[in-house]
Amino acid sequence: MTDKVVVITGASSGIGKALAEKYAAKGFNLVLAARRIERLEALKEKLSNVEVLPVKTDVSNEEDCKHLIDKAIERFGKINILINNAGISMRAVLEDVETEVLRKVMDVNYWGTVYCTKYALPYLLEQKGSVVGVISTGGYIGLPGRTGYSSSKFAVRGFLDTLRVEYLRAGLHVLVVAPGFTASEIRETALVADGSQQGKTPRNENKMMSAERCASIMYRAIKNRRRKMIVSFWDGKVIVLVAKLWAWLVDQILYAVFKNEPDSPLK
């Protein structure tokens, strides 16, 4: 057992929930953040071997993020790891999408990461701890029909890469993790052009990497203080590498793949 403390945003489902279960199995005390507090409370009951502090948090709200970190320090007195996992997706071409949708995606994905990291930073520096940002392959290459999503993930990568350099001599560990397609609720809750939720996934979730597998890979990367981690192979490492060599080819492939999705927004 350990007295280390990990803060995980977006912990009510998917990768965030799987990370909570993984860290609980390793004996970490948990501070879990999400808007759906009832899910966090249920998860707390399940993870009875460690101390779990659920905090209702909308990461797009700066005061909520400050409150999350304040509650973590009030309860445990320190933070060893912050995992910025909360995220939202969208699915619409630019000419159709309401600008408010783009703003909302950026508020959750980018500003949520900035706010939580900003307020946790003094405590992470004290522990020479880890700050983690969960992006996706879409944070390396532009995904058609996902202008707001890819832009936000590029922004998170730029923010954390810069943070790493700023605190290079302070012992802060910064990891940017890019999962490929992972089974989760993110496609069901993705926003369409008018800001409503998509409600169903356009892809076969059964063929994707499980959230638990992704969480295990992330756990090792954090433990080994990796700088960057592209989790998946074909829809991750390979496509990012090919994009560096033959960007025009990847553009063609991505367009074809996303155009052939059910109800694709691409013309």
Which residues are known catalytic residues?
Answer: 149
Handedness of CA 85, 101, 159, 59 (dihedral sign): negative
Pull the structure tokens for residue 94. Answer: 């630019």
Cα–Cα distance measured from residue 253 to residue 75, given in angstroms and rounded to the nearest whole number? 49
Query: Among candidates 115, 117, 63, 109, which has minimal Cα distance to 86?
Result: 109
Count Cα neighbours of 65 within 13 Å in the Cβ-side half-sphere.
Answer: 25
Tell me the one-letter amino acid at 246. Answer: W
Buried b (16+ CB within 10 A) or exposed e, 228-238: bbbbbeebbbe
Structural contact between residues 66 and 235, judged by C-beta atoms closer than 8 angstroms: no
